[in-house]
Amino acid sequence: MAKILNSVIGIDLGRHAFKSVLLKRRGDGKLQLCRYAVRAIKIESGSEEEFVHEISALLEQMGGRSKACAVAFSHIDGILRNIEQPSIPRELLRDALRFNGMTLLNQDTKNFVFDCLAVEPGEKLECPEKDAVSKDPPKITYLVGGIPREQIEEMEQSFAAVNQHVSSVQLAPLCNFNAFAFSRKEAFEKGPFLLVDIGHSTSTIVLGRHRQFHVVRTIDYGGQNFINSIIRAGNGRADLALGLLEDEDFMVVEIARRSLVGFAREIRSIITYLQGSHDESVTEVFFSGAAAESKKILELLSGELYLPCVAWDPSSQFEIALPPGQKAGFAKDMTKLNIACGAAASLLRSNTGEPALYLNLYEENETERIRKKRDPVKTGIALLVLLVAGIFVHFTWKSQVLNHASGELMALETEWKHLEPKAKAAGLRESEMERNDKLTNALVHRIENRFYWGTFLDQVFRNIPPDIQINDMEASVVNTGIKKASLSLNGMAAGKQPRGDAENFRTGFQKQLSNHYQEINSSFRSLEDGPVLISFTAPSSPTAIFVIDMDFISPDLAPSEPVKTARSVKK
């Protein structure tokens, strides 16, 4: 007997968005909706890596985990229909559908995975006498579902990559049917009902009658088609166009009505089929999907179908136990969760034997996996082979390691014999280079810290006025961390006030040098009247002999840029 499940994750793998719910069973049997998530997918190349990323992001967004997971597919090649066959075991009917699909289903189904279920007949035959005379065995109606095996294998690998075990794979239309059976039990049992799930690019119509699955049909019209028809009225913005629709803008409403005419015609054809074949009709149409959130869309469809069109809540029979962060947006997203809720609830109810139209397309894979896992002979053989292989690999690896180590040792010894003389010569060369390096550093330090007399002499010669003559100059530099220079100028001044001219020369020269040097001190060692008169122009001028002592500090550690001077040419 299978273990009773207490929690299940239901996932709807739509073409435009992935939806998931986490359902838990309480002690009294009532189901709790604990978590949910809706994620728009962006799978451009269709690679497995992108699919795995979207599944992982969906589960992370939802939060919470469960060992059981029910996945709902809405594949374009999926098969879901009723067939009539004599009573036959379920496993044999699966094989018959796979290998004789052209006869039973009018298409090649060799690469499909099937599941089937015998359903109760909707009506009793009116002529039992004729039926008793017939030699043909009585036929039973089977609900058959199938999907390409390739899709099942790709899905299995993707969910294995995110460490999520898959318990069942179901078809989306049947999940929608079961979700309606769980949430709207009265409408489900009293008569025929019509379910319309509006997807992104396609819509699925399911017709049920007296608790039985009757017809499913896919229409190439979805929410994106509707948005594209009204988006021009919103200047290319979908939100603006939908806002104008809700505000009942006449032009937008008319465009929306025309867009829905063909869609409503397809729905009306299903209703007409029901009226013609069973002389019954539906009293209202139940809508789900993102477009069902708009009351204006439902109002326009009601006007086209002449029937009430309502959005139904698949969680109406669940206890809502969502965290605060998810509860805020649940009222808007509830119409999108019908398939995910139906997949999870179907698995939970079938696990306890409760009635449900439950087809598990993953049952063959799961049964085969369990059988292989529990086969003691194969398990024992695998362990024995693994043990022998492990011992062989261990001893092979050890011998390889030993041989490799011996070879490396011999190679290193041979290499050392060749390199030892070179190592000794390199050591002697290193000592010699260290001595040369110390000498070079000392010379470089001496050169880089020298005093640059060219710049200084240029300043001296540029600041000597015509009435001053320098006869002798002595200078010296002391390098003690700073470059301190001492200067002695011996010269003669001529003019009307030769002593004043000498003083002006000293102060002006000191001021000029302060632009390039620091801590300048200057003073006259001697200042006396000269013994001769000098005649530049008549009359002759007296002279003064002076000796100026000066010391200063040069802050520059590198030579200054040469000063470009223009010499005046005396005519």
What would be the CATH architecture of the domain defined by 1-124+133-184+312-374?
2-Layer Sandwich (3.30)
For residues 399-425, give the mean pLDDT.
89
On the question of pLDDT at 331 being above 80, the answer is yes
On the question of pLDDT at 567 being above 60, the answer is no
Give the per-residue pLDDT at 469: 86
Helices (H), 184-309: 185-190, 223-230, 238-246, 250-278, 295-305
Give the per-residue pLDDT at 132: 45
At residue 19 the predicted structure's pLDDT band, cuts being 50, 70 and 90, is very high
Amino acid at 234: G
The pLDDT tens digits for 511-524 are 888 888 888 888 98
- Token reading at 194: 């019509």
Q: In angstroms, rounded to a whole number, what is the distance separating the alpha carbons of residues 496 and 66?
A: 113
On the question of pLDDT at 335 being above 70, the answer is yes
CATH of domain 187-311: 3.30.420.40
Task: Tell me what percent of the residues of the chain surpass a pLDDT of 90.
Answer: 21
Closest listed residue to residue 310, CA positions, set 331, 341, 339, 286 = 286
Q: In angstroms, rounded to a whole number, what is the distance separating the alpha carbons of residues 2 and 115?
A: 19
Give the per-residue pLDDT at 538: 57
Q: In angstroms, rounded to a whole number, what is the distance separating the alpha carbons of residues 283 and 115?
A: 32
The pLDDT tens digits for 225-279 are 888 888 876 667 777 888 888 888 888 888 889 999 999 999 999 999 988 888 8
Amino acid at 479: N
CA 117 from chain centre, in angstroms, equals: 42
Helices (H), 72-230: 90-99, 101-104, 128-133, 149-161, 172-183, 185-190, 223-230
The pLDDT tens digits for 426-449 are 989 999 999 999 998 888 877 777
Q: What is the 3-state secondary structure (H, E, C) of 510-565?
A: HHHHCCCCEEEEEEEEEEEEEEEEECCCCCCEEEEEEEEEEEEEECCCCCCCCCCC
At residue 126 the predicted structure's pLDDT band, cuts being 50, 70 and 90, is very low
Orientation of helix 250-278 relative to helix 223-230, angle to 10°: 150
Give the per-residue pLDDT at 480: 58
Q: In angstroms, rounded to a whole number, what is the distance separating the alpha carbons of residues 257 and 237?
A: 19
CATH of domain 453-554: 3.30.980
**Beta pairing class for 7-13 and 193-198:** unpaired
CB 196 within 8 A of CB 297: no
Average confidence score pLDDT of the chain: 84
At residue 131 the predicted structure's pLDDT band, cuts being 50, 70 and 90, is very low
At residue 301 the predicted structure's pLDDT band, cuts being 50, 70 and 90, is very high
The pLDDT tens digits for 46-56 are 678 888 898 99
The pLDDT tens digits for 340-367 are 999 999 888 886 766 678 888 888 777 7
On the question of pLDDT at 92 being above 60, the answer is yes
For residues 438-467, give the mean pLDDT.
81
With residue 384 as reference, give the H or E element that holds it: helix 376-448
On the question of pLDDT at 194 being above 90, the answer is yes
The beta strand positions in 430-517, using DSSP E, are: 468-479, 483-494
The pLDDT tens digits for 142-169 are 889 999 988 888 888 889 899 988 888 9
For residues 56-61, give the mean pLDDT.
91
Give the per-residue pLDDT at 29: 78
Q: With a threshold of 0.75, does the pTM exceed it?
A: no
Q: How many residues does the chain have?
A: 571
The CA radius of gyration of the chain, in Å to the nearest whole number, is 50
Closest listed residue to residue 333, CA positions, set 57, 31, 17, 32 = 17
Give the per-residue pLDDT at 353: 62
Q: Which residue, chain included where needed, has tokens 């109406």?
A: 316
Task: Tell me what percent of the residues of the chain surpass a pLDDT of 70.
Answer: 90
Burial (CB < 10 A; 0-12, 13-18, 19+), residue 456, is buried
Orientation of helix 453-462 relative to helix 498-513, angle to 10°: 140
At residue 120 the predicted structure's pLDDT band, cuts being 50, 70 and 90, is low
